[in-house]
Amino acid sequence: MEKVTLHDKQFEPYISARELDTAIDAVAVRVAGQYADKLPLFLGVLNGSFFFASELLKRLPIACEISFVKVASYRGTVSSGTVSQLIGLNERIAGRHVVVLEDIVDTGNTITHMVESLQDHQPASVAIASLLLKPEVYKKSLPIDFVAMEIPNIFVVGSGLDHDGLGRNLPGIYRLVER
């Protein structure tokens, strides 16, 4: 793995594709064990989760479904802060065991809004699986049930994660080189 330049920034290798594979193997074993007879509905949050979704699902020898949603954030007209809306949720959620798939959980704002929106649809359960988690930043009470790897508070790209549109296709994870 070599350094890469994306737009104006340099990134250096941080986690190899092989290390990620091993970490995702372990998550898959846990998910398969917990959802074997539950016909889970996986909901990947676009764009970043496509890599994790595909890597996780190909390791699951259980009956399951997958769909993808987008989270659109916009400022409310009143002082309500940022409002999030789920786009593309066409599946019936009521009574289903839902596992939300994320590329990375940082502050947790995105995933918290998403889970709150999902609860309105009366799922049987909602769990969260994320490829990466920044525990130093994440301070919400919502549990992140399945995490492939924890990282410190750095900016990373690769394996679905981008810098301004670039880098999602890089195998493994690269970190920003601070100058």
List interacting residues with ligand 5GP (CB under 6 A): 48, 102-110, 155-157, 161-163
| Residue 109: CB minimum distance to ligand 5GP, A | 4
Q: State the Cα–Cα distance between residues 18 and 23, nearest whole angstrom.
A: 9
| Residue 131: CB minimum distance to ligand 5GP, A | 10
Per the listing, tokens 């049987």 go with: 124
The angle subtended at Cα 79 by Cα 75 and Cα 80, nearest 5°, is 65
Of 9 and 38, nearer to ligand 5GP (C-beta) is: 9
Of 92 and 140, nearer to ligand 5GP (C-beta) is: 140
Q: Which amino acid is at 138?
A: Y
Is residue 103 within 8 Å of residue 83, measured between CB atoms?
no
Helix H, strand E, coil C: the string for 16-76 is CHHHHHHHHHHHHHHHHHHHCCCCCEEEEEECCCHHHHHHHHCCCCCCCEEEEEEEEEEEC
Of 33 and 165, nearer to ligand 5GP (C-beta) is: 165
| Residue 92: CB minimum distance to ligand 5GP, A | 25
| Residue 40: CB minimum distance to ligand 5GP, A | 21
**Selected catalytic residue, list 8, 21, 106, 145:** 106
The residue count for the chain: 179
Q: State the Cα–Cα distance between residues 91 and 73, nearest whole angstrom.
A: 21
Annotation says 8 is catalytic:
no
What SS3 class is residue 120?
Answer: coil
What SS3 class is residue 117?
Answer: helix
Active-site positions read 106
